[in-house]
């Protein structure tokens, strides 16, 4: 038997590099992440400072505090070196050191919030314009069957359904719903934000949202939805694996292709 006959040689796998996420989408996405982080953080500083109680508001659920007092201002441990970041406050005429403080930071929260708002709005506007002009919106806008199929995606993720539900394009139908939903929530954030930022100049907008208190309520719960999206999104990214994450950075995916004797021959001929 001929030891060099091609049928005896182990056939190496063939891989192709495929374009997946466009450059613009990746830029808009990765700019958005730290911007949203700063918006949520500074928003919480404003929220915690906005209280009839002196200094700060404690988050409550049915009237009970969700976090202990130390969450808002934890003391530094005795071994904490002074050169590491900390917060100092005078308590009973004595300086007291804290790891950080979420109290009394209204002005700081406001200036970060109103500065980063511009990046959030401009980046969002450019992202939506790009989606429309490039036709990329087709990849993320839900279709008629998306609701039914996204339930199947969840059941598949929970391992209740074995067969992976169909997807049209790079995103499954649950992703389509989530990605379009998060854009709508972003728009709602901006509208409700303007309504509570300029309730006099934009009084028509505040009235449209049901008044100042209602606009504040919408703004807060839209933020909570963004946080919920973030937790599920990152969990899905981890679950889907490294290749997908890498593609959101480089724009490319590596795919294994099925090797047939024909493809080998044409490879040899080339
Ligand atoms: C609040 C912050 C975030 C928001 C609002 C967000 C939103 C989105 C949206 C809308 C898309 C679809 C983009 C498109 O094709 O137009 C997307 C994709 C993606 N995001 Fe995020 N994202 C956030 C944070 C993150 C973080 C922290 C990570 C990394 C851990 C991440 C990893 C990814 C990946 C890998 C994809 C591609 C998914 C795929 O191809 O299946 N995202 N994200």
pLDDT one-digit tens code per residue, 170-220: 899 999 999 999 999 999 999 999 999 999 999 999 999 999 999 999 999
What local confidence, expressed as pLDDT, does residue 261 receive?
A: 57
Looking at domain 11-56+105-264, its CATH architecture is: Up-down Bundle (1.20)
Task: Report pTM.
Answer: 0.83
Low-confidence residues of the chain, pLDDT below 70?
Answer: 1-11, 50-57, 259-270
Q: How far apart are the CA of 31 and the centre of ligand 1, in A?
A: 11
Q: How far apart are the first and last CA of the chain?
A: 28
Residue nearest to atom 14 of ligand 1 (CA): 25
What local confidence, expressed as pLDDT, does residue 260 receive?
A: 65
What local confidence, expressed as pLDDT, does residue 262 receive?
A: 58
Output Rg (C-alpha) for the chain, integer angstroms.
26
Q: How far apart are the CA of 35 and the centre of ligand 1, in A?
A: 14
Query: CB–CB of 142/177 below 8 Å?
Result: yes
Domain ranges in the chain are 11-56+105-264, 58-101
Q: 3-state DSSP call for residue 186?
A: helix
What local confidence, expressed as pLDDT, does residue 54 receive?
A: 53
């Amino acid at each position: 038997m001929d030891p060099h006959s091609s049928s005896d040689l182990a056939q190496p796998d063939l891989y192709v590099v495929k374009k997946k996420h466009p450059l613009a989408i990746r830029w808009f996405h990765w700019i958005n992440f730290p911007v949203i982080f700063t918006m949520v953080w500074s928003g919480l500083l404003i929220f915690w400072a906005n209280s009839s109680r002196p200094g700060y508001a404690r988050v409550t659920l049915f009237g009970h505090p969700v976090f202990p007092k130390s969450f808002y201002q934890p003391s530094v441990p005795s071994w904490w070196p002074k050169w590491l970041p900390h917060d100092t406050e005078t308590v009973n005429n004595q300086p007291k050191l804290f790891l950080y403080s979420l109290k009394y930071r209204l002005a700081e929260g406001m200036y970060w919030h109103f500065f980063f708002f511009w990046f959030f709005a401009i980046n969002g506007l450019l992202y939506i314009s790009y989606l429309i002009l490039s036709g990329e919106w087709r990849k993320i806008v839900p279709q008629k069957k998306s609701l039914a199929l996204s339930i199947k995606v969840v059941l598949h993720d929970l391992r209740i359904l074995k067969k992976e539900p169909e997807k049209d394009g790079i995103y499954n139908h649950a992703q389509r719903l989530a990605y379009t939903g998060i854009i709508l929530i972003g728009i709602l954030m901006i509208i409700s934000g303007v309504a509570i930022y300029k309730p006099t100049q934009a009084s028509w907008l505040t009235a449209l949202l049901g008044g100042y208190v209602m606009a504040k309520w919408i703004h807060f719960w839209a933020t909570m939805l963004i946080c919920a999206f973030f937790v599920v999104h990152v969990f899905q990214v981890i679950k889907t694996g490294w290749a997908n994450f890498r593609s959101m950075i480089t724009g490319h995916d590596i795919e294994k292709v099925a090797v047939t004797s024909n493809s080998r021959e044409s490879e040899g001929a080339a």
